[in-house]
A and B are shown apart, each in its own frame.
Chain A
């Protein structure tokens, strides 16, 4: 099973083939999505009608490319806006949580820690509906009491951001906590001995040490928010993020335009993921 233990050749061959097939299985759906983005046809399926760039750069019907398709471009913008907000919010709260759990011991810490992990084991759609129900309870209550209509509490981008944040914050907390645990506190004490105040010590010593984890958490949060579907589906208003916009189109029937969008998404997210891996190896 390991290289130092000799195994029959046939077994090794079968094992190797199995693993190769597995990677084929992983690659296949993504590969077909990518390839059919270049099919000169109205449908992302065989027969192959020839190569075209029109699904990216076409500017006239019936082949309007991604870059001329207004609703899609707008949806990408919405997604990026939401993802950036969710990322920054998650990293801020995640850092604060990491310090709290790492530096303080207090009554109820264990309970709070388990509570903090819970969002990961709650189905996304349940998170979505619970926030939907609660926000509309609050909005209705405000209307009854003060005759105020708070638009932010109705389905829309604010709720989408809060809904995604509610579980992505857990991931940010875990990522940043893991790095903070490796921090050598004597470094901070040295800064204190040299006359720094506690806040200065944290700002100049601890935060720079945490930076790789904070950036890592930001990128992961951004990607998770960008591709989130379940929670977003329940909270979305009239401005649809990209995954919802694509889902609506896919229900109506697919054209290679969706393949082109998907290919760009794949390129974007794998570049971001690769940059993150390289960054962390260096850091």
Chain B
């Protein structure tokens, strides 16, 4: 590199390094250090695993942690099952203008704040809501039904909120599948099911993986949906982090919780990439 290019290189490198160091790497290291502190007196701390020990010995914390993980996996699977046929329809069955319109229709709801979407579900599902009224009107229920504040409501909200992040990668990968390959599958004696299993799904695998990773991440880290749609005993792990930080002002334990959430999401994302032999670079591009 001659000197001009060298200056240019460092000028371009500086913002990247500042951003990653000051906002991503160092804050996470600092969060880890705080999580390793134990308060022994006023502004006196010792290094210990006490916060992690608290996390692993208190049943409520562990239960919430596992519950959040399991429900996020479940939300990812449901989102995939609902989104796949729709994506296939948009990518392979409709053509031309209608295809573009349907695709944009999928995008529009997600330019709207998550708060508004959640609010919509509250109006639909609450005791005085539309669904309850509809059930009474059709005679399926003889009194108002409360459908809010339970795990099913959380699930509906999570799946709704994540839908776009599944549909877009699926449509993109499915569109790249050549029709003639599907036709060849039928010519060689395949039926709808075997073509789906042996041609379409393997081709869509990268889209399935990147969609699932993003949906899982978003569900795991969601705060609004579980708080607004969930009930008293359907606690989400992010709510516990928020409570430790803002309500209880116990930053040490909160930082430990945050770190556990980070580890959980990293492990699951990493193992999904490994299982399907993909790299983060390919998946995010």
Contacts and interface: CB of A to CB of B under 8 A. Distances in A.
A134 B9 contact: no
A75 to B, nearest CB: 12
Contacts of B26: 134
B16 A125 contact: no
Interface string B2-24: 00100011011101100110011
A4 interface: yes
A176 interface: no
Nearest to B14: A96
B88 interface: yes
Interface stretch (B50-58, B59-67, B258-266): B258-266
Contacts, number: 240
B113 to A, nearest CB: 4
A234 B89 contact: no
A145 B261 CA distance: 33
Contact of B117 (A30, A112, A162): A30
**Contact size range, A:** 35 or more
Contact of B12 (A99, A124, A234): A99
A131 B183 CA distance: 53
Interface string A85-124: 0000000110011011001101000001111111111111
Nearest to A263: B116
B112 A30 contact: yes
Interface of B: 4, 8-9, 11-13, 15-16, 19-20, 23-28, 30-31, 34, 82, 85-86, 88-89, 92-93, 95, 102, 104-109, 111-117, 119-124, 126, 128-130, 133, 160, 163, 179, 182-183, 186, 192, 195-196, 200, 213, 217, 220-224, 228, 238, 241-242, 245-246, 251, 254-255, 258, 261-262, 265-266, 269, 280-281, 284-285
Q: Identify the 6 closest CB pairs spanning chains A and B, nearest first.
A: A29-B120, A123-B221, A134-B27, A130-B27, A227-B113, A166-B23
Interface of A: 1-5, 7, 15, 18-19, 22-23, 25-33, 36, 43-46, 92-93, 96-97, 99-100, 103-104, 106, 112-127, 129-135, 137, 162-163, 165-166, 169, 174, 178, 198, 223, 226-227, 229-230, 233-234, 242-243, 246-247, 250, 254, 258-259, 262, 265-266, 269-270, 272-273, 277
Given A198-B8, A230-B238, A259-B119, 8 more contacts: A29-B117, A106-B9, A123-B217, A125-B258, A132-B245, A174-B285, A234-B246, A272-B111
29 contacts: A2-B182, A3-B95, A5-B183, A18-B85, A23-B102, A25-B160, A26-B106, A31-B120, A36-B123, A112-B20, A113-B281, A115-B25, A123-B261, A123-B265, A126-B241, A126-B261, A129-B245, A134-B27, A137-B30, A165-B19, A174-B285, A178-B285, A234-B245, A246-B115, A250-B228, A265-B113, A269-B113, A270-B112, A273-B108
